[in-house]
Amino acid sequence: YMRFSSPKQAEGDSLRRQTEGRDAYCQRKKLELAKTLSLADLGVSAWKGDNAATGALAEFLGHCKTGAVPKGSFLVIEHLDRLTRQHVRQALTLFFQILDAGVTRAYSSLTA
């Protein structure tokens, strides 16, 4: 999952950096990247949770619930702030919602 906050950031390096980080992480951990579902919130702020409420992250969660994303799948993100920038309580709720949907782990592509 990739996200950046404003359309102006599309002119910068965010998408390339996140894509390369994701690919390197998957290679390092020997994870197969799903080609059928590539979701990104490009120009969507995570301060208010719009990405999780109506954006591509919400679509991902919906796919988890319907089984389109198999249980045990991984969610690879560059950093926690790509997922959310909300306060801790909302961030934890979102994180647990992802885990409860059957995603085994959410990983940062630049760590571990």
Give the distance, in angstroms, between the CA of residue 86 and the centroid of all CA atoms in the same chain.
15
The amino acid at residue 21 is G
Candidates 5, 14, 73, 109; catalytic one: 5
Cβ pair 81, 41 in contact under 8 A: no
Q: Specify whether 6 is catalytic.
A: no
Backbone angles phi, psi at 37, to 5 degrees: -135, 100
The overall longest dimension of the chain from CA atoms, in Å, is 35
Cβ pair 65, 20 in contact under 8 A: no
The catalytic site residues sit at 5
